[in-house]
A and B are shown apart, each in its own frame.
Chain A
Amino acid sequence: MSGKFFGLLVGMITVVSSAFFVLHTWWLPPDISRLGHGVDHQLNETMIGTGLLFIAGQLVLAVFVWIYGSKNETRKIKFFPGGGAVMVTFAIVIVGIEILVLTFVGSKVWASIYIDPPPANAMQIDVSAEQFAFYFRYPGPDGKFGATHPELANDGNGNFFGLDPMNDVAARDDIVVATLTVPVNRPIVLTMHSKDMIHSFYVPALRLQQDIVPGLTIPVHFTATKEGRYEIVCTQLCGLGHYNMRAFLDVVSQTDFDQWLKSQSGD
């Protein structure tokens, strides 16, 4: 009785859980990046491979418990044919192959995003993360970023990057904003700094995530392939306002971007 109930329950749990995965009831947002399809492909392959293992494992459990849980005093004890050696072999071979394939393909995806250098015409945008907002800096018409001085940082004045325009001419035209605006289909390099804690830059739609560590300058690159407004959220616990730390990524046409840039410089 217990055996059948257990088997049924595990079977039901398996079917219901798997259904939500297969039906994509809750799923990744559409990918809008040049390199994101590699991540999605890897995820889908793993989903299929491990999904089969999940379903097989749970159903074997369910079936075995159903069958061998039945009350039958005369039944003789049996041993799995081949004994432990079969299991060891199966695990090493099947899981081993899966690991090799996934590592080989996955490493290439990983390298394309984090190891390969960005394309030559990438536009550099400076990023400063702090408790609890992201700020973005464009170099302005002079094409040069001003130097940053942590001791000059002052949120009340809007000096999020600690610039010194009085004495540093390159800093005078730097454009500092709280929204990341980029032209579509243009490679972007973000140089990321943190003022205080470890933060993290996560754009689900770009399949991009990177911790921002104080004391380090960490570059990431991406190319957005679809116009629209997407969310950037902080994923590394940085204090009480962590849940509220976000910014928007505006992907616009090249023309709109040029116009936006000009309007910022005028201010």
Chain B
Amino acid sequence: MDEASAQPAVHHHAPPQGFIRKNVFSLDHKVIGLQYYGLALAAVFIGMVLSWLMRLHLGWPSLAIPGLDKLTANGAPGGIMTPEYYLSLMTMHGTIMVFFVLTNAPLAGFGNYFLPIQVGAEDMAFPRFNMMSFWVTLTAFLVLIAAFFVSDGPPISGWTAYAPLSAVGGDAGPGQALGQTLWAVSIAIFCIGQLLGSLNFIATTLDLRTKGMSLARMPFSTWAWFVTAIIGLLAFAVLLPACVLLILDRVAGTSFFLPAGLVVSDKLQPHSGGSPLLWQHLFWFFGHPEVYIAILPSIGIVCHILPSFLRKNILGGTRTVVSSLVAFGFLSYMVWGHHMFLSGMNPFSAILFSVPTLIITIPATILTLLLLGSIYGAKVRFDSPALFCLGFISVFISGGISGFFLAQPSIDIYLHATYFVVAHFHFVMAVAAIFGIFAGTYFWAPKMFGRMMNETLAKWHFWLTFIGVYCIFMPMHYIGLAGNVRRYAAFTDDYLTPLIPVHKFMTIAALCTGAVQLIFLYNLFHTRFWGKKAPDNPWESTTLEWSTPSSPPPFDNFGGKHPVVYRPPYEFVEGGTTDFLMQTSPGEAAAD
């Protein structure tokens, strides 16, 4: 579709008045984007603290952590963590990180802020839905956090909440009464927020592009947000009913996921006719696209940022990159069974699922090679956004490689549910996706706050974090190969005891790397209020967000004007006073 959308912005809303309208219940996509980002920031620090507690316990199980007994009703008598408390920390850590950090910041955060600007629109297509989506998401977060404070404690079934453990109710163990119900309610509410957000992203991309902004001229980040929103629409539309069914099994006596004859805590359960595997199918049909929702925006952000620091476009240009993103997203719907190779479903289906799982490595490899090939012949500028993009390439390779092993059922027989899996998803999600968020923050801070972040602090943040994440997550591959089972609150088995020194090492690395993130937090807050004033286009970039009349942009983004786009993004030229051409600069455009 090369036809530029000739429609001007359909919705005009008057500039907001008053503090509440401007900063709290705002219709402005930029404020909403920052609200999402702020929520993700709070969530990531909570999630990180939970992981520190987990890792402390794994390295030193009999450690009495002062104050821990005050934090929880009965999870840590004398400060010593009980097994169920460890599992509840793990469940909340995973849930908070996957949903409230990785689905929030790169997609809802940056996407809300920059998608309308990058397509030249005044705001999202449905500003009221947009505002609603944030408050719905915040509600979901608060419901989830409430689970920490119920008498039985938070749920212990992991972010994957497999039935029957999640469906039986309180008999299944501590945390499985009200805590688990709150979890299911929270996630169901979260789905609604995401669906509203997806609608906005898709409608805005299709309908509100300014004159000259054909789909082919959209930046990589916009394409990534657009594709991710489509994936999200279908994925969250399955998770929502799955959570409803789970809640019904728990409170209404239904048996969607519970077979007959369950004896839990010596009590015969009254359910019959359901299938625990049904939950897994529904969850992973959502769950696999979900993890691609977590990584795709970061890939898009990295592809968007790098050209400014290489002074050339990504190799292959829009066509190749976007085709790979689309293939990546499309295939993500066909692979969910690779989480279920050993689940008890028909073993033939394992072979069936492993084929698209292996095929999906092709677009991932293409993207990696395009990024690598872009560096060839470039003039690299090493500002902090670039460092995180280059670091992204390294960690994306590391994370992707372990996927090759897990995609094969014959190898998964051995590696399933070991720390090898934990290594894989942390590299791609906790490291690569987060690096994308860091890159985006350092890159777009001058536009969002009108101020430059401190480069020295940013560089310290990068180098220490880059070393730190390898120290935390690379050893997980090794202990996984040794058969170290995951989700264990303690390592009491004979064959696991020799691995405890490795756990101690990873704990220390995690604590140190966590402390380093305080540098980022300090830098972010200091910049927001006292940072050096930023020029309008500090990175000499080409896309529409750098052509707004001010930083931060005015409430309607372009100061009453509708920008006209003459050329594709990432056009760099040699000779002449500047080496780049903004999308708004007229004159002969290179072939799209």
Which residues on A are within 8 Å of B, measured CB to CB? 2-3, 5-6, 9-10, 13, 17, 20-21, 25-29, 38-39, 42-43, 46-47, 49-50, 53-54, 57-58, 60-61, 64-65, 68-69, 72, 75-80, 83-88, 90-92, 95-96, 99, 102-103, 106-107, 109-111, 113-115, 130-131, 150-151, 153-155, 162, 195-198, 200, 202, 204, 207-216, 218, 231, 233-244, 246
Residues of A with C-beta under 8 A to B581 = none
Contacts of A196 in B (CB 8 A): 164, 168, 172, 262-264
A189 to chain B, nearest CB (A): 15
Are A13 and B470 neighbours in the complex by a CB distance under 8 Å? yes
| A26 / chain B contacts, CB cutoff of 8 Å | 478-479, 481-482, 499, 502
CB distance from B261 to the nearest CB of A (A): 4
B263 A107 Cβ-Cβ under 8 A:
no
- Give 1 or 0 for each of B244-272: 1 = CB within 8 Å of chain A CB: 00000000000000011111111010000
Stretch at the interface among B36-44, B230-238, B368-376: B368-376
Q: Which stretch in B3-11, B281-289, B354-362, B563-571 binds the other chain?
A: B354-362
Given contacts A79-B315, A131-B264, contact A198 B276 (CB under 8 A): yes
> Is the pair A68, B417 in contact by a Cβ cutoff of 8 Å?
no
| Pair B343/A77 contact, Cβ less than 8 Å | no
Q: Give bound CA distance, A2 to B474, whole Å.
A: 24
Pick the most buried of A5, A38, A88, A113: most chain B CB atoms within 10 A of its CB.
Answer: A88
Q: What's the Cα separation between A28 and B589 when bound, in Å? A: 58
- Contact at A28–B482, with CB atoms within 8 Å? yes
Is A88 in contact with B375, judged by CB distance below 8 angstroms?
A: no
**Nearest CB of A to B471, in Å:** 10
Q: A2 contacts which of B83, B263, B368, B382 (Cβ < 8 Å)?
A: B382
Complex Cα distance, B531 from A10, in Å, reads 32
Smallest CB separation, A68 vs chain B (Å)? 5
* Complex contact A109–B410 (CB within 8 A): yes
- Do B410 and A110 touch (CB < 8 A)? yes
Bound CA span A214–B404, Å: 31
Q: Shortest beta-carbon distance, A91 to chain B, in Å?
A: 4
Which of A212, A215, A243 is B491 in contact with, Cβ under 8 Å?
A243
Tell yes or no: B425 within 8 A of A by CB: no
Let me know if B67 is at the binding interface, CB within 8 A.
no
**Within 8 Å of chain A (Cβ to Cβ): is B488?**
yes
Q: Are A88 and B156 in contact (CB under 8 A)?
A: no
CB distance from B78 to the nearest CB of A (A): 18
Interface residues of B (CB under 8 A from A): 82-84, 87, 156-158, 162-165, 168, 172-174, 259-266, 268, 274-277, 310-312, 315-317, 319-320, 342-344, 347-348, 350-351, 354-355, 358-359, 361-363, 365-366, 368-370, 372-380, 382, 387, 390, 393-394, 397-398, 401, 404-405, 408-411, 413-414, 416-418, 459, 463, 466-467, 470, 474-475, 477-479, 481-483, 485-495, 499, 502, 572, 574
For A240, give its contact among B173, B417, B463 (CB under 8 Å).
B173
Docked complex Cα distance between A74 and B225 (Å)? 37
Q: Which 8 A-B pairs have the closest CB atoms?
A: A84-B316, A78-B377, A215-B259, A2-B382, A204-B483, A235-B417, A87-B369, A243-B488
Query: Which of the residues A9, A79, A95, A213 comes within 8 Å of B277, measured between beta carbons?
Result: A213
A231 and B483 CA atoms in complex are apart in Å by 11
The answer for the CA separation of A25 and B486 in the assembled complex, in Å, is 20
Whether B401 lies near A53 (C-beta < 8 A) is yes
A211: contacting residue among B265, B343, B377, B378, CB under 8 A: B343
Q: B344 contacts A210, CB within 8 Å? A: yes
Residues of the A chain whose Cβ atoms lie less than 8 Å from the Cβ of B365: 91, 95
Is B315 within 8 A of A155, CB to CB? no
* Assembly CA distance A216 to B351 (angstroms): 21
Kindly state the separation between the CA atoms of A90 and B485 in the bound complex, as whole angstroms: 36
CA distance A106 to B174 in the complex (A): 41
Tell whether, in the assembled complex, residue B320 and residue A88 are in contact, meaning their CB atoms are under 8 Å apart. Answer: yes
Q: Beyond A2-B387, A95-B365, A195-B264: 17 further Cβ-contacts under 8 Å?
A: A9-B463, A9-B466, A47-B405, A77-B311, A77-B378, A87-B370, A103-B351, A196-B172, A197-B165, A202-B417, A202-B483, A202-B485, A211-B344, A215-B261, A233-B485, A243-B489, A243-B492
Name the distance in Å between B42's Cβ and chain A's nearest Cβ: 27
Measured CB to CB, the closest approach of chain A to B386, in angstroms, equals 9
- Contact A57 to B372, CB < 8 A, known contacts A17-B470, A88-B366: yes
Complex CA–CA separation, A21 to B409 (angstroms): 21
A78 touches B370 (CB 8 A): no
Question: Would you list 29 pairs from A and B whose C-beta atoms are within 8 A, ordered by A residue?
Answer: A9-B466, A26-B499, A27-B481, A54-B398, A57-B397, A58-B394, A61-B393, A65-B375, A68-B310, A68-B379, A77-B378, A77-B379, A79-B315, A80-B374, A84-B315, A96-B362, A99-B355, A99-B361, A197-B164, A198-B276, A209-B414, A213-B344, A214-B164, A235-B418, A236-B417, A237-B156, A237-B157, A239-B173, A244-B490
Residues of B within 8 A of A58 (CB): 394, 397-398
Q: Compute how far the CA of A33 lies from the CA of B274 in the bound complex, rounded to whole angstroms.
A: 35
Complex contact A195–B263 (CB within 8 A): yes
A111 to B573, CA, bound (A): 57
Cα A79 to Cα B7 in complex, Å, equals: 37
Is there contact, CB below 8 Å, between B376 and A6? no
A110 touches B377 (CB 8 A): no
> Is A76 within 8 A of B574, CB to CB?
yes
Contact yes or no, A50 B488, CB < 8 A: no
A110 touches B347 (CB 8 A): yes
Known: A155-B266, A237-B165, A242-B87. A150 touches B261 (CB 8 A): yes
